[in-house]
């Protein structure tokens, strides 16, 4: 969902600017959340033309690698099915004026689109700061060399501990995709990022000034991207509960669409939320893929917590953007997936950053630097050596401190204003996208 969400938002934004949009949807999907959101896009925006990409499963029982993340295997299958693309693209009438590709498919899809003379753009689904690493790494890597601290020109040094863990293993599927896609950046007409200039001024300027890699296409900040419109009515059960809470009193806790916690950590988090003394809305997740997440809440958290009344514990999808935009929500305990960070910025909700893996430490460092929140640096991430569960007592104390931090309250309000200014009419992100649309329509 971290990749699909910005595409849904970009597609609906382009459609509402009067663009004719074709959305290539991969079938089947890994998670139910993907299927549900794709169907909602197509039914709420009948002007968006769906084009099904029937995936060939390249990983049958013979060569499935259980250690690999199901989303990365899926991504690799899409990449290996790239030969299905030309007939789809050339079947369209009127023909496409441009093609926007997810960064994780870039090296597989760009050469094909370029052969068809189709101007191709990349949507980068993480921060511009992560993009500096993406662009810089291919030039740095000699085969089989371990990645250490990285000094990217124009950027603050990136310690090895902040780099996505999989990148320390050159044989990992993700690492291979990362490097190939990093090289493919040079073949795009421009790279779009769901960020705004004031949040990542150093990265945007290092990328566009040629400091990171020479010859990189323009990097265009187009965020925060807006959520697609939904038909009114039928709010989920979280909202009546939120409506009854005082302004800015609720701590929202969620680790995104694909980060599961261990039983032990779930238990301690429950203790922590109780000890914090704050109201909370907590989304519990036990399995990476939602379709496999069958355990009931009562098996995971204590009865006392469910009956407490100061908190609402849910399992399953909540509309996070709406939750963050609700006036009762005052803080967000987040893994710092990039979409979550940008949503918190746009809604002016302070973040307690608890990165769990991938690009999340890089994003957490931006949360801290921008004034959007604080980063619990000493809490390790999944699989890290010597990392045990984080104890409830400590979690409770951090949450309490963040809720009472007036300094953070002021800086978060500033970040929100900057976010709204960038995406509002005439703002830097608004202009970035408007200039692209103008180019496509001329
Ligand atoms: N999301 C949501 N409800 C959920 C879980 C996730 O709306 O219960 C959305 C969230 O708002 C964000 C996206 O799914 O837009 C997740 O992307 P992110 O980059 O934050 O994290 P990832 O899931 O990729 O780790
Ligand atoms: N990963 C993994 N197994 C793999 C490939 C990747 O566990 O085979 C994990 C790993 O933690 C890596 C992360 O996925 O660091 C990559 O995440 P990325 O930064 O691309 O974020 P996402 O694509 O989920 O938004």
Question: What's the number of CA atoms in the CB half-sphere (13 Å) around residue 224?
Answer: 23
Give distance in angstroms: CA of 339 to centre of ligand 1.
6
Evaluated on CA atoms 364, 365, 368, 369, the torsion sign reads negative
- State pTM to two decimals: 0.94
pLDDT at residue 386, rounded to an integer: 73
Which residue do the tokens 């929100």 mark? 416
355 in contact with ligand 1, CB cutoff 6 A: no
Residue 40: nearest ligand to its CA?
1
- Protein residue with least CA distance to atom 16, ligand 1: 2
- Protein residue with least CA distance to atom 7, ligand 2: 69
CA dihedral 229, 232, 235, 241 (to 10 degrees): 100
pLDDT at residue 329, rounded to an integer: 98
Grade residue 61 by pLDDT with cuts at 50, 70 and 90: very low
The answer to whether 152 and 158 are in contact (CB under 8 A) is yes
Grade residue 146 by pLDDT with cuts at 50, 70 and 90: confident
Radius of gyration of the chain (CA): 21
172 in contact with ligand 2, CB cutoff 6 A: yes
For the residues 241-251, what does the mean pLDDT come to? 96
Peptide bond into 402 cis (omega under 30): no
Q: How far apart are CA 219 and CA 221, in angstroms?
A: 7
What order of strands is seen across the sheet that includes strand 120-124?
Answer: 99-102, 120-124, 191-193, 219-221
Give distance in angstroms: CA of 378 to centre of ligand 1.
24
70 in contact with ligand 2, CB cutoff 6 A: no
Q: Does the pLDDT value for residue 40 go beyond 90?
A: yes
256 in contact with ligand 1, CB cutoff 6 A: yes
For the residues 246-274, what does the mean pLDDT come to? 96
Grade residue 277 by pLDDT with cuts at 50, 70 and 90: very high
pLDDT at residue 62, rounded to an integer: 44
- Protein residue with least CA distance to atom 5, ligand 2: 174
Residue 285: nearest ligand to its CA?
1
- Kindly state the percentage of the chain with pLDDT values over 70: 95
For the residues 229-255, what does the mean pLDDT come to? 85
The answer to whether 358 and 352 are in contact (CB under 8 A) is no
ipTM of the complex: 0.90
Which residue do the tokens 């779009």 mark? 192
Between the alpha carbon of residue 273 and those of residues 23, 185, 394, the distances in Å are: 41, 43, 10
Residue positions annotated with a catalytic role: 3, 102
Which residue do the tokens 């968006």 mark? 48
Q: How far apart are CA 242 and CA 311, in angstroms?
A: 10
257 in contact with ligand 1, CB cutoff 6 A: yes
Q: How far apart are CA 174 and CA 180, in angstroms?
A: 10
- Protein residue with least CA distance to atom 18, ligand 1: 337
Angle formed at CA 386 by CA 385 and CA 388, multiple of 5 degrees? 115
Among 41-55, 213-227, 300-314, the minimum mean pLDDT is found in 300-314
Q: Does the pLDDT value for residue 418 go beyond 50?
A: yes
339 in contact with ligand 1, CB cutoff 6 A: yes
């Amino acid at each position: 969902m971290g990749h699909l969400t910005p595409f849904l938002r970009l597609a609906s934004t382009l459609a509402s600017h009067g663009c004719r949009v074709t959305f290539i949807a991969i079938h089947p999907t890994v998670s139910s959340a993907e299927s549900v959101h794709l169907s909602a896009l197509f039914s709420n925006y009948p002007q968006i033309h769906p084009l099904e990409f029937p995936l060939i499963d390249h990983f049958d029982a013979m060569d499935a690698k259980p250690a690999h993340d199901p989303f990365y295997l899926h991504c690799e299958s899409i990449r290996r099915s790239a030969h299905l693309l030309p007939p789809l693209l050339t079947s369209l009438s009127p023909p496409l004026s441009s093609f926007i590709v997810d960064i994780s498919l870039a090296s597989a899809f760009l050469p094909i689109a370029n052969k068809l003379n189709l101007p191709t753009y990349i949507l980068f689904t993480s921060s511009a700061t992560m993009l500096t690493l993406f662009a810089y790494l291919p030039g740095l890597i000699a085969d089989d060399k371990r990645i250490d601290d990285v000094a990217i020109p124009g950027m603050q040094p990136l310690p090895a501990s902040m780099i996505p863990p999989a990148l320390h293993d050159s044989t990992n599927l993700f690492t291979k995709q990362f490097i190939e896609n990093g090289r493919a950046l040079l073949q795009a007409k421009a790279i779009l990022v769901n960020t705004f200039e004031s949040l990542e001024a150093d990265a945007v300027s290092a990328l566009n000034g040629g400091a990171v890699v020479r010859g990189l296409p323009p990097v265009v900040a187009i965020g925060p991207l807006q959520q697609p419109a939904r038909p009114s009515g039928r709010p989920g059960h979280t909202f009546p509960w939120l409506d009854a809470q005082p302004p800015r009193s609720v701590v929202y806790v969620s680790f995104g669409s694909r980060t599961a916690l261990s039983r032990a950590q779930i238990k301690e988090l429950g203790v922590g939320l109780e000890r914090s003394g704050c109201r909370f809305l907590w989304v519990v997740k036990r399995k990476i893929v939602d379709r496999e997440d069958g355990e009931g809440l009562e098996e995971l958290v204590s009865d006392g917590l469910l009956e407490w009344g100061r908190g609402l514990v849910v399992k399953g999808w909540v509309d996070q953007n709406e939750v963050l935009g609700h006036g009762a929500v005052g803080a967000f305990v987040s893994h710092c997936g990039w979409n979550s960070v940008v949503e918190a910025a746009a809604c002016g909700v302070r973040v307690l950053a608890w990165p769990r893996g991938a690009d999340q430490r890089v994003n957490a460092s931006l949360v801290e630097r921008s004034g959007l929140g604080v980063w619990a640096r000493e809490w390790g991430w999944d699989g890290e050596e010597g990392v045990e569960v984080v104890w409830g007592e400590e979690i409770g104390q951090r949450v309490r401190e963040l809720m009472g931090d007036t300094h953070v309250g002021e800086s978060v309000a500033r970040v929100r204003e900057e976010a709204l200014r960038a995406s509002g009419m005439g703002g830097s992100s608004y202009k970035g996208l408007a200039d692209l649309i103008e180019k496509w329509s001329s």
